[in-house]
């Protein structure tokens, strides 16, 4: 059941937890942490225009990965119809993904597992992008009752998730649910790249500023429609959704 075992309880293990990079290389490259293990919780692509170095970084550095809903859609070459703000962003930028990603990148995205169980030091981990019931698509935020239902048959110390783009820590019995927030597109009102460090069972949420101008300019250099870029820039600079308070669109 446990696909990976790293370290022992006798040695400290420093874990970098990242999620929702969304093709934002300036954000990802701003993270400068030493780590013994890196857990990536899905969605390396979409929303910005630089997926190649992001995928390459994850492939080089991540100890374990799971597939996000955007990773899955890109791997399956799904064409998105424009809708709300986030859907318009994906619809405009995904064709550029198909131009720059090669078959090896797409195969890697398609072969990412949707769940991973692993042991690091003394702790058992479950990795999913969304929830244990629906690993790629379910949004339940920090609803304690819903998480208690999702954890009824889960016997781990940490459930590590992404998807909502909002940092979260819930202690439910012996299990902590940890969402490190989004590296490439935070939606909690803080535009800095979000991630977490787990060391000796202690979770620390961290933020780092990055060059948003560089991310926006790369969209422009990639030929993205200026109206879409304007909306994307508002999302990035505000650390959230410019039109609604919800996070479940796309």
H/E/C letters for each residue in 131-173? CCCCCCCCCCCCCHHHHHHHCCCCCCCEEECCCCCCCEEEEEC
- Residue with token string 């720059």: 100
- pLDDT above 90 (res 13): no
Instruction: Please answer whether residues 191 and 238 qualify as being in contact, where contact means their C-beta atoms are separated by less than 8 angstroms.
Output: yes
Summarised one tens digit per residue, pLDDT across range 199-228 is 988 999 999 999 999 999 999 999 999 999
- What SS3 class is residue 237? helix
The reply to whether the predicted model has a pTM over 0.95 is: no
- What SS3 class is residue 23? coil
Instruction: Quickly name the fold that domain 4-238 has.
Output: Purple Acid Phosphatase; chain A, domain 2 (3.60.21)
How many residues are there in the chain? 250
Cβ contacts of 76 within 8 Å, gap of 6 or more? 110
Give Dmax over CA atoms of the chain in angstroms: 55
Question: Which tokens in the block code for residue 108?
Answer: 């890697």
User: How crowded is residue 167: how many other Cβ atoms within 10 Å of its Cβ?
Assistant: 22
Summarised one tens digit per residue, pLDDT across range 43-101 is 999 999 999 999 999 999 999 999 999 999 999 999 888 778 899 999 999 999 999 99
Domain ranges of the chain: 4-238
pLDDT number for residue 4: 61
Average pLDDT, the chain: 91
């Amino acid at each position: 059941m446990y696909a990976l075992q790293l370290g022992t309880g006798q040695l400290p293990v420093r874990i970098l937890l990242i999620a929702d990079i969304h093709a934002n290389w300036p954000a990802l490259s701003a993270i400068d942490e030493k780590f013994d293990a890196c857990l990536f919780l899905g969605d390396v692509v979409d929303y910005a225009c630089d997926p190649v170095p992001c995928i390459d970084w994850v492939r080089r550095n991540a100890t374990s990965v799971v597939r996000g809903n955007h990773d899955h859609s890109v791997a399956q070459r799904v064409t998105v119809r424009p809708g709300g703000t986030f859907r318009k962003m994906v619809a405009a930028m995904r064709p550029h993904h198909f131009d720059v990603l090669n078959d090896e990148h797409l195969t890697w995205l398609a072969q990412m597992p949707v769940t991973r169980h692993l042991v690091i030091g003394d702790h058992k981990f479950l990795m999913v992008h969304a929830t244990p019931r629906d690993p790629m698509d379910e949004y339940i935020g920090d609803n304690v009752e819903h998480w208690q239902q999702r954890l009824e048959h889960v016997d781990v110390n940490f459930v590590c998730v992404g998807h909502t783009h909002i940092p979260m820590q819930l202690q439910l019995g012996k299990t902590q649910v940890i969402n490190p927030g989004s590296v490439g597109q935070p939606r909690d009102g803080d535009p800095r790249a979000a991630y977490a460090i787990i060391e000796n069972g202690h979770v620390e949420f961290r933020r780092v500023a990055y060059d948003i101008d560089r991310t926006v300019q790369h969209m422009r250099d990639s030929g993205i429609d200026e109206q879409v870029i304007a909306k994307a820039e508002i999302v990035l600079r505000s650390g959230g959704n410019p039109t609604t308070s919800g996070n479940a669109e796309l």
